Structure 1
Amino acid sequence: MSNHDPRDPSEAKRTSLQLDAFIGFLGFFAFIALIQAVINVFQPEPKVWPALLALVLVLATVSMWRARRQ
């Protein structure tokens, strides 16, 4: 069994890397959703959900990125 001491430098590094990975995944999917939303605008009958999904993912990415910087 491992001892989870929050002051342990390796534990802090692991948590930092996990947060960076999560921000990376969010950023990747936000980028893909943004491309899909732009492509959707040029369709004959564009839908609203691709733009909403892109908005939510971009806002989540930016908020996580800003929280990480503090």
Structure 2
Amino acid sequence: MKDKMSGQFTNREIMEKYGIKNVSQIKTWMKWYRENQVQRFDQPIGKQYSYGHGPDSSSNEEKKNVK
């Protein structure tokens, strides 16, 4: 995020540096940052959760019921 915010790197350079395959990922991250949804950065890649509803916030009982 700091690379993008500094303005020193283009999207292409950031994609190459971090192995990002699609520019939409950078746009999504910037949207989260602007909307102060920084908790989303700690979520597993590929599945997004509402705040407080991620895999780490589930109780053991809830996790058993998911299977």
Per the TM superposition, whether the score is higher than 0.5 is no
- Which has the higher Rg, Structure 1 or Structure 2? 1
TM-score with structure 1 length normalisation?
0.27
Which structure carries more relative contact order (alpha carbon 8 Å, separation 6+)? Answer: 1
Q: Normalized per residue, which structure has more helix?
A: 1
